[in-house]
Structure 1
């Protein structure tokens, strides 16, 4: 089964983005290289929460196990598994004085679902329990990072990684959309189940011709904020082909939600179907080919396919 996140959106996962290069030079002085705090490289500039930091090069042998320094503790709630979390970060290899990636320059926090396997294990483990508003430094051994394979040209095999992470925001993710049931009266459109137990709702596609225009209808209408095209949203969803009702993607089957930054979402119909809907809702979205993948086969989805989605809009970041 092909994951929608990899097929339709610019990757917004640390697993994918951490190999992006940076022009930052970092510090290369001997005194900075020798400067350590609790066994991790010192922050040599930009020490305050929200400031882009500069890290010294690691000195001596790197830690063999995950190491977490709380640089400054926030006053917000402690992070839990399955929270949607927004952070800013800078990452650097232990033996380097040059960052391989940072979100500060992009002026856009990175969003993840904690404990969902969207990021390297050192992040999932090191951030759990930390408070919103905190700045933490993580020392991540290879087995909790990119291991023996490394990551592209930027992260060597068996590299120990150091991150400075500012925890900007966190949202608790509900198990299911909940809201007022909306009548599904059009016999020519799919019908979506209204269960609120966190399990995948049923979706039944009629034996009729697919609609030629985009459909985005409430199944359960929540009372949360309206989604804007600049938001990042946390979704639970299943996607089917209209023609044969074949399922091609499901967060329920994966056992985890998916976060999409709408500015980066390349599937026109999906973005249009989400914008204007309320957080906490379940919606039916039917995407005709001209607002979907068009006239080319992509990753097992045939050309000119009409796609059908049941989507729970669980949170907005």
Structure 2
């Protein structure tokens, strides 16, 4: 069952980090660069790098080397970033993951807890167009549990190219749309960046997916292949109890690929305009079905308010 981006998410960089057996191996004897393994090939921004094996004791604190400084905007918490990266364990010569081979950059919201802490901290304050090398101690990475091919208590080294940074508006903006159906939830229309109210009526839930504008924006229509940055809140129809909210996580928006979330979101948001606030009522068939999901009981109808802030 696919998860809604951000919902009950463990703050990991990637949920699958399978190693690629065809990766090039870095030199074990190359000199270190400012305390981190040297880039032995592909050193230029945009090139797939090759990393040497770390020498000596790994850094005990986060360490960031700016390999190439870009000329773009400085990244800040809440920005939607698009990056390419390669990751390798300190004591290895084989990368465990990289986006260069996939041919698609990785999208994240900086400071949203969508990635390991070492990324959120290491990428903040860097300029777009920069290549940075980040050494991440276990407590800012995957810790004692490890992840996939990453061993427990591993120190990680990443080379990251910052391709793009988008400043995200704090809320939807546009034309308010009348909410006249008394049998549907009502959503607040505040645009101050705070969580809007979401009131569920004491009626039977609808059998089919509902996707209605609360505020209609003026941006481009969302496509199924888009990566979205949103603010959202979700409650249960049966009692109005909140089970998830990006507002509750410091107000930092969530970024996700529309094709990778529950069907109620992928179908309900496709075609809606960027800048809009949308009411989604998601029946079990378009949500989590017969399976419970954390605080969401099985066969639950879900209600969301979603501000579509940006798309990539």
The answer to whether the superposition gives a TM-score over 0.5 is yes
**303-312 or 190-199, which moves further after superposition?**
303-312
The root-mean-square deviation of aligned C-alpha atoms, in Å, is 2.3
1:34 and 2:24 correspond: no
Show the counterpart of 1:143: 139
Deviations 1:112-158 (A, max 9, x none): 211222222221221111111111111222333233x0513522333
Deviations 1:17-36 (A, max 9, x none): 36432224433545xx2332
1:251 and 2:246 correspond: yes
Deviations 1:1-46 (A, max 9, x none): xx843669xx79643436432224433545xx23322222222222
Contact 1:12 1:110 in 2 (8 A): no
Q: Please give the residue correspondences for 1:155-304 in structure 2 after superposition, counting only pairs within 5 Å.
A: 155-255=150-250, 256-265=252-261, 267-304=262-299
Show the counterpart of 1:5: 5
Show the counterpart of 2:73: 77
SS at match of 1:155: coil
Show the counterpart of 1:45: 41
SS at match of 1:81: coil
Q: What is the CA distance between 1:300 and its match in structure 2?
A: 4.1
Show the counterpart of 1:315: 310
Q: List alignment gaps of at least 5 residues for structure 1.
A: none
The structure with more helix, counted as a fraction of residues: 1
CA gap of 1:143–1:212, structure 2 versus 1, over 3 A, is: closer
Deviations 1:174-231 (A, max 9, x none): 2211221111112221111001111111112222222222211111111122211111
Alpha-carbon distance in structure 2 between the residues aligned to 1:168 and 1:12: 25
**285-294 or 225-234, which moves further after superposition?**
285-294
Alpha-carbon distance in structure 2 between the residues aligned to 1:162 and 1:170: 22
**160-169 or 102-111, which moves further after superposition?**
102-111
Alpha-carbon distance in structure 1 between the residues aligned to 2:77 and 2:83: 15
CA gap of 1:83–1:207, structure 2 versus 1, over 3 A, is: same
Show the counterpart of 1:104: 100
| Number of residue equivalences | 309
Q: What is the CA distance between 1:309 and its match in structure 2?
A: 0.9
Contact 2:131 2:160 in 1 (8 A): yes
Runs of 4+ residues deviating >6 angstroms: none
**104-113 or 152-161, which moves further after superposition?**
152-161
Contact 1:34 1:58 in 2 (8 A): no
Deviations 1:275-310 (A, max 9, x none): 111111111111222222224444343333221111
Alpha-carbon distance in structure 2 between the residues aligned to 1:165 and 1:273: 33
Show the counterpart of 1:21: 19
Alpha-carbon distance in structure 2 between the residues aligned to 1:215 and 1:262: 17
Contact 2:82 2:162 in 1 (8 A): yes
1:67 and 2:63 correspond: yes
SS at match of 2:129: coil
CA gap of 1:209–1:90, structure 2 versus 1, over 3 A, is: same
CA gap of 1:242–1:46, structure 2 versus 1, over 3 A, is: same
